Structure 1
């Protein structure tokens, strides 16, 4: 038989297989050669299934690479709609290396068909037969739908329906909700993944190796230094020379930061920013700026009444505090705002681990601290009244106001006010770390990730929209739960005032949490902060929300022709149902999360909130903590109770109240580690070489019309970055925290 006769009735199919998972590129480039890749076109179709294609090549592992192969297949195979991708090992070792397959592209009759996989395939041993269940953290094989993806009720061919059902069944076996009875006992906490240990996670839910290596390296250096401090303390106690590493001045704290930055090799740029804050941290204008632009900028709320918590302390205010206005006049003028810390009500003092860490037993005082903020005529926002209450010890509340104009830094009134601000800033930091950051960004976010993987198969267009944004939340949360919820073994109880009772703080927060908190424009209206000048956090968050909202609307329009399509989509409805029932089923009224999604508008709102929560919201509460971590500016704990109303404050009293050296180091180190993220996974990358690895490269949305939506979104991000750059050129302190070039597309730390 001639070659022409052999290929009669056949057509050429070209397969381009892209592999490689780690960014940034590691120093060595490894190749996978553990066996053979096997691909079947249209598996399960009686009419169009191809023969098994065996591809024995060296595939890239550590960096992105591609392999091109060509096959003659029967023309009856026709258009490739579904691929089955599997690996067969040629080795007998027990442990082999999984291969990350990014995408398989098929060229057929001059048309391009793209199959996004973005997952790990594990080679099975041919002697034992093909596995049918997940093994070694990987599915037995992958069934990948082409192009834009489809809705289940739009499928007309049985083999495609069966493929998405098998895909979903496999994922559900690997991603399971924790037993509700194990969710922190009787305490209120969202549902999450049942797996408790990182190394037990499915491979696709683990960090990429380069990202994990960076994280573990930073963690190791910090732990090593902390252990070195602890060993030194023990040895000094044995020989009777131990004394706590206390500070003699604010400059001493500054020197301590600089010395540790050298030891830990922290970024000089980030250290410079922290030192810039240290130069002005004592000023009321700087305190006001941090309320607007610091890590907890989402808490500012307009005061609606002075009755209740504020009325008793108003007599402390003098004419100069409100520029000659009475408190009621300032209230009527819409010039008063507040930051409160009610989430700490009922939380006992911490310090259980202080002996282990510092060598002496300490009490870390939990103080209810509220701040009344005034908008001056020069549009500066400044604190004017602070309420402190040591409710744990049943001490009466106290009230503190700024000193008279012209006061020196040695005056008792100045020191009283400075110490009151420290208690307020410390309480706010404790609450923001556990509530605004971990609870709101991480614990809530994991619900969306688990529900998406369990209910949206590879073929679903909405999974392709969400995948780059949900990919980081589960692995980081498995690590974080050990740290945040381990008061007996250390964790955050090692240095943060409320760390002994993280679970109780979580419950306080979640008693008030609801779905509407995720809708940032709505939160601006509820808090009535639309007109606060210099509130760049609000401006940048709203601008980014609008860009993401427009992007999500376009992607949803590509998927759903009408709202009826949304109602008929059982997979997206199951997604919403599991969020409400498994994620927030123990919450009152399921925290306001809908059990179903009734129309396209509600779906767009829901998806916008999810993408925004994983990216811009998380960035706003996480990535500048190191800048403000100078202990006198934001103490993680206070070693003395808040002052009595008639107490005369001295500098010694202030220094004795602030964290000692071991605690200061831990606060720096944790804050620095939290601020690190993969430089590639951002919304906007100016370098064209990086951009192909950014959100477009990460997205499973591969159809031309989907990528066009992504590119329009990226252009919106470019314009936002330019707007932020132009604004910052006129500011003393740049505020580029929410510049798209600084915001990761997924929650990483």
Structure 2
């Protein structure tokens, strides 16, 4: 037991500190002890008579794996209950190179009552004489932590606590800044993002480094090495006059290549099995429709309310709609569409194709739209496809399924229909990769995370609610901006037809984006998709929305006693304003995000939208990429021949010559695996120890018993949803379990 220097006063009370340090995430490294100095603790700093002196803890702390240290102090009874805790580190002056320390949480036992102070942040030791007041080495100079549920600023009555949260917020704002637009003339739309462009320069609390474990690094390096080797061989053989692009001679060869690579590189066999199922069925219209409803881009389908406009020039054959008239099935609400308007004006790709193939290729970008019909057997099938090579000034062409009496799949009409579907799926994949996945799941969420960090201090209950969800998005986006969507080092340009103008696709997408799209029930209603049979993406998204909405409401009710509390919460209102002014600067009406929220109901809706979009929605669109996209004929990432014209005679050779060559196919497969693989440190709404999956409890800063009760109730509801999804999937050839709560991470890491 440590004893405070001031023990002359008989009126003393025991304070027990339980100090939890080290990563709370699994690590391959053995336990390492932090021994670079001394921890300094102060209870109620700045409060006058109730402030303790600076308490020194010289224990060795766990710094690589989870651990705790317990120390006791006798302190004057006048200090009373610990309301605010200051945590600092003083260095060992004999060490020149020091490590920062990750502190998870500190609990103080006072009068046998636990007072929990959640931290989850790094701190760097300062010199014993020079105690900084500003960030150093990417770390805050010290922690000032409020205990329990967190509080609203206008509920605080003690000046020392108010000053502490203001100081903390000032320091965080100095570390987390919006990127200032470089040119006012560039009016392309893109949400605000962090002004730091290199991962290593991020503040330590934003570095989610543990996500880059050896497993992922090794997989990435294997893929990168093979791509480099192939490209080098191609260039060398081209110089020698022996180069020939390595193309596949059949769909079966694509499937065999997928199996061979999965064994060689170690891709998950369960995912490969799902991809192979798709390989067997991808030519069927029913499978095409299933993927529109349950694939990675399932949010794009919407009801057709008129056959004028884009569909006026096409003709749907009667046999495709079971002998009925188009007007009849339209009036019954059985027609749906998927469109790719954000590709308008996007040039053909292939500018960097030589890096992989050794020769320059053109990858064609076209506009492609698909009309779908719900048959009487409740299967959704495509009935009309519109293709338009607008970049080359070509007219639109129309494609429809062959007559049912033509049963030979290699008949020219079947091949022409298959070819049209491939062109549409290729365009749809471009929209998926850049719009659905990156723009909606990454760019938007980063803005929301930055505004959270800049406006809500540690003491704020909404920060503690959102923290498990926002912690991954900023670092993964910083990495992505350097290697995935950087115009100079754009990985998308190495395999996507649309990859050479990612900013153009973003601009087209964000011109139409609205905050209302994040309100899942409202979005489903506006798209008119409430009644499509077998729309499992809709069913599971709505279920998650309802569960998380209830969770957010319960958490909000703990801190906001009435609507007036929402209005008076200046930190919260600053958050809403920051999202509009900086997160969606230049967007018309701030993309519909509210500049202010005045009641609890709208606050709960907003928080639900943030949590669902950053966790559930990202899961739905990200963790099926391998299953859906690695068998290349199912969804070609690029098309290497000009798009078909009306009188094009489609042959199997033309189809195979249009699909990507081997090197591009492998690169796309490897990227799909990397993006669609769980990080080893992922946490999920439900834990599953047998699958090495961790639940959400360990990541929370919401540590008060009332808050943990809310989290447990959330877990109970998620468990019921899992059981419902499990029961639904029994006997299904294609299971839809991507949104099972044991598969749904809390945050965005890929």
Interval of TM-score (by shorter of Structure 1 and Structure 2): over 0.9
Q: Structure 1: how far apart are the matches of 2:193 and 2:221?
A: 27
Match of 1:373 in 2: 372
Q: Structure 2: how far apart are the matches of 1:469 and 1:461?
A: 14
Match of 1:404 in 2: 403
Change (3 A) 1:570 1:212: farther
After the TM superposition, which residues 191-210 of structure 1 pair with which residues of structure 2 at under 5 Å, given as runs?
Answer: 191-210=192-211
Matched residue SS, 2:313: helix
Match of 2:55 in 1: 53
Match of 1:449 in 2: 449
5+ residue gaps, structure 2, are none
Q: Is the 8 A contact 2:483 2:489 kept in 1?
A: no
After the TM superposition, which residues 241-252 of structure 1 pair with which residues of structure 2 at under 5 Å, given as runs?
Answer: 241-252=242-253
Say which is worse superposed, 477-486 or 131-140, in terms of deviation: 477-486
Q: Is the 8 A contact 1:486 1:492 kept in 2?
A: no
Change (3 A) 1:698 1:688: farther
Change (3 A) 1:239 1:218: same
Q: Structure 2: how far apart are the matches of 1:677 and 1:184?
A: 40
Q: Structure 2: how far apart are the matches of 1:182 and 1:452?
A: 26
Change (3 A) 1:183 1:668: farther
Q: Is the 8 A contact 1:23 1:210 kept in 2?
A: no
Q: Structure 1: how far apart are the matches of 2:7 and 2:335?
A: 87
After the TM superposition, which residues 522-601 of structure 1 pair with which residues of structure 2 at under 5 Å, given as runs?
Answer: 522-601=522-601
Matched residue SS, 2:78: coil
Say which is worse superposed, 214-223 or 375-384, in terms of deviation: 214-223
5+ residue gaps, structure 1, are none
Q: Structure 1: how far apart are the matches of 2:216 and 2:95?
A: 30
Deviation at 1:357, TM superposition (A): 1.7
Are residue 259 (structure 1) and residue 253 (structure 2) matched? Answer: no
Deviation at 1:687, TM superposition (A): 3.3
Q: Is the 8 A contact 1:482 1:491 kept in 2?
A: no
Deviation at 1:348, TM superposition (A): 0.9
Matched residue SS, 2:236: helix
Q: Is the 8 A contact 1:143 1:167 kept in 2?
A: yes
Matched residue SS, 2:225: helix
Matched residue SS, 1:83: strand
Deviations, residues 634-673 of structure 1 (Å, cap 9, x unaligned): 0111001211111111011001110101110111011100
Match of 1:23 in 2: 25
Q: Structure 1: how far apart are the matches of 2:225 and 2:185?
A: 30
Match of 1:705 in 2: 706
Q: Is the 8 A contact 1:684 1:714 kept in 2?
A: yes
Match of 2:284 in 1: 283
Deviation at 1:97, TM superposition (A): 1.3
Q: Structure 1: how far apart are the matches of 2:177 and 2:306?
A: 47
Q: Is the 8 A contact 1:151 1:461 kept in 2?
A: yes
Are residue 120 (structure 1) and residue 119 (structure 2) matched? Answer: no
Say which is worse superposed, 233-242 or 443-452, in terms of deviation: 233-242
Match of 2:326 in 1: 327
After the TM superposition, which residues 619-638 of structure 1 pair with which residues of structure 2 at under 5 Å, given as runs?
Answer: 619-629=619-629, 630-638=631-639
Deviation at 1:225, TM superposition (A): 1.7
After the TM superposition, which residues 274-313 of structure 1 pair with which residues of structure 2 at under 5 Å, given as runs?
Answer: 274-313=275-314
Q: Tell me which of 85, 88, 101 is aligned to 1:86.
A: 88
Matched residue SS, 1:313: coil
Deviations, residues 239-261 of structure 1 (Å, cap 9, x unaligned): 32221111111111112212222
Are residue 225 (structure 1) and residue 226 (structure 2) matched? Answer: yes
Deviation at 1:184, TM superposition (A): 9.9
Q: Structure 2: how far apart are the matches of 1:286 and 1:192?
A: 39
Q: Provide the alpha-carbon RMSD of the alignment.
A: 1.7
Deviation at 1:235, TM superposition (A): 2.2
Are residue 728 (structure 1) and residue 743 (structure 2) matched? Answer: no
Q: Is the 8 A contact 1:12 1:70 kept in 2?
A: yes
Q: Structure 1: how far apart are the matches of 2:185 and 2:202?
A: 20
Q: Structure 1: how far apart are the matches of 2:311 and 2:383?
A: 12
Say which is worse superposed, 474-483 or 177-186, in terms of deviation: 177-186
Change (3 A) 1:103 1:677: same
Deviation at 1:445, TM superposition (A): 0.2
Q: Structure 1: how far apart are the matches of 2:480 and 2:6?
A: 62
Deviations, residues 589-633 of structure 1 (Å, cap 9, x unaligned): 111111111111111111000000111100111110110111110
Q: Structure 1: how far apart are the matches of 2:692 and 2:409?
A: 50
Pairs aligned (count): 743
Matched residue SS, 1:14: strand
Say which is worse superposed, 267-276 or 281-290, in terms of deviation: 267-276
Matched residue SS, 2:182: helix
Change (3 A) 1:618 1:6: same
Say which is worse superposed, 561-570 or 13-22, in terms of deviation: 13-22
Deviation at 1:213, TM superposition (A): 4.6
Are residue 11 (structure 1) and residue 27 (structure 2) matched? Answer: no
Provide TM-score, normalisation by structure 1: 0.97
Say which is worse superposed, 267-276 or 417-426, in terms of deviation: 267-276
Q: Structure 2: how far apart are the matches of 1:156 and 1:145?
A: 14
